[in-house]
Amino acid sequence: MIINPVKLDKLAQVAIKVGLQLAEGQDLVVTAPMTAAPLVRRITEHAYKAGAGVVTAIYSDEEATLARYQHAHDASFDKAAGWLYSGMAEAFKGNAARLAIAGDNPMMLSGQDPDKVSRAQRANSAAYKPALQLIAGFDINWNIVSYPSAAWAKLVFPNDSEEVAVGKLADAIFKASRVDADDPIAAWAEHNANLKARWTWLNGKSFSALKYTGPGTDLTVGLADAHRWKGGASEAKNGITCNPNIPTEEVFTTPHRLRVDGYVVATKPLSHNGMLIEEMQARFEGGRLVELKASKGQDAFNKVLDTDEGGRHLGEVALVPHSSPISASGILFFNTLYDENASCHIAQGQCYSDCFVGGKDLTQAEINARGGNSSNIHIDWMIGSDKIDIDGVHVDGSVEPVMRKGEWAN
């Protein structure tokens, strides 16, 4: 057996019991690549054991996606299945929980026409917005976990046979998701408590900005007014405390969309919707990413940033120690869920309204007034390493160390 069935079952349990804390009677919407069906089946079983109402799985298929790029008429690339996302939004308004399984081939679209890719993504983002707003606004409990599909595994471990690569990626996923522990649920409780201690400290400081310095990086990220740091377990508006990302190592908050200035270089390649963007260098002015260079994927990523007005502004800033287990594994996963948790990162696009004091009740206009950004994209990219120092800037301009050489300063 390539993928340990006991650990796969534990991962499904963690997704339901820790990731979602699925409530009795709650419906569940699962999205997954077809290759992840073995995990979807385990998750469905645990969901019903936990008292789920109806579990609905929506599968995507790489071959079908590629068939569109090969054979669809040009007009197809400005269309999206809006009816599906409206239905998902309807389900969330009825308190359905949301579980996404990541595991697609990260390079799926790398050989396709970048213009068609970006048009299709733009159409999809716009159509997805009604559903995404309920997820990003944390109306309902949601969770994302991963499954080691063969194409993804071969990208991460190119020198191994497919079978060995899948086994290795599965083990890395299990370890990062803490299902290796004897009692994964207790391990998650401890991890959540550690993250809470970090964000409690940061909230107490109420820094007005973070200042990053390191090779190629001299960046000041202003924080939004009345921002709030979060991380690990978190309460959704429906009253359920869930762990949205599995794995997660970050504490994060909302930057001010107009107060980001300076230079920053990416410390890891970014894998975004089947493209790989390498060696990014960015310059920010008044919060806007005014210049983006990359050794690979530069044009394609600039197109993505131009999706809308908010695409070049930041919506998230996150701190992750360089010694985090995912970083320590030394594996480049080509998957943001993993790679962002190996490194301090920032995100272009939509902010999380819950990263504000009283955020659950704020209108979009109030969020914007405090410096929150809105966009149809949310793309995390990695700027942390063991060479980066981060200072917290107080309102009066005085500074104090937050991280030194990629580790918490205290």
- Binding positions for Zn ion, rule: CB under 5 A: 250, 252, 316, 318, 347, 380
E strands of 141-269, at which residues? Answer: 142-146, 209-214, 217-223, 234-235, 241-242, 251-253, 255-265
CB of 355 to Zn ion, least distance (A): 10
Residue in the block written with tokens 């963007």:
277
Closest to 89 measured CA to CA, from 51, 43, 25, 136: 136
Residue 162, CA distances (Å) to 32, 35, 38, 169, 265 in order: 21, 14, 17, 10, 33
Nearest residue (CB) to Zn ion, 214 versus 315:
315
Q: Sheet holding 55-60: strands in order across?
A: 55-60, 28-33, 97-102, 142-146
Residues with Cβ < 8 Å from 125, sequence gap 6 or more? 132, 307, 376, 377
Q: How far is the CB of 345 from Zn ion (least distance, A)?
A: 6
What does residue 319 show for φ and ψ, rounded to 5 degrees?
-110, 130
CB closer to Zn ion, 169 vs 344? 344
**Cα distances (angstroms) measured from residue 366 to each of 92, 229, 235:** 23, 18, 21
Which residue number, 42 or 228, has a Cβ lying nearer to Zn ion? 228
- Taking the complex as a whole, the smallest distance from the CB of residue 356 to Zn ion amounts, in Å, to 16
If the CB atoms of residues 134 and 347 are measured against Zn ion, the closer one turns out to be 347
Q: How far is the CB of 47 from Zn ion (least distance, A)?
A: 25
Pairing of strands 251-253, 209-214: unpaired
CB 157 → Zn ion: shortest distance, Å? 25
Give the CA angle between residues 350, 253, 120 to the nearest 5°.
20
Nearest distance from C-beta of residue 41 to Zn ion, angstroms: 29
- As measured in angstroms, the least distance from the Cβ of 326 to Zn ion is 13
| DSSP assignments along 268-303, one per residue | S-EEETTEEEBS-EEEEETTEEEEEE-SBSHHHHHH
Query: Which CB sits closer to Zn ion, 3 or 131?
Result: 131
Cβ atoms of 406 and 342 within 8 Å: the answer is no
Lookup: tokens for 22: 């699925």
Q: Which is nearer to Zn ion, 252 or 334 (CB)?
A: 252
Task: Give min distance, CB of 339 to Zn ion, in A.
Answer: 11
Specify the residue for token string 């733009």. 122
Interatomic CA distance for residues 269 and 78, integer angstroms: 28
How near is the Cβ of 351 to Zn ion at its closest, in Å? 10
Which residue, 44 or 253, has its beta carbon nearer to Zn ion? 253
- 103 or 244: CB nearest Zn ion: 244
Q: Which is nearer to Zn ion, 240 or 319 (CB)?
A: 319
Cis peptide bond N-terminal to 130, omega within 30: no
Report CA-CA distances (Å) from 169 to 76, 100, 140, 380, 395.
Answer: 35, 18, 30, 22, 45
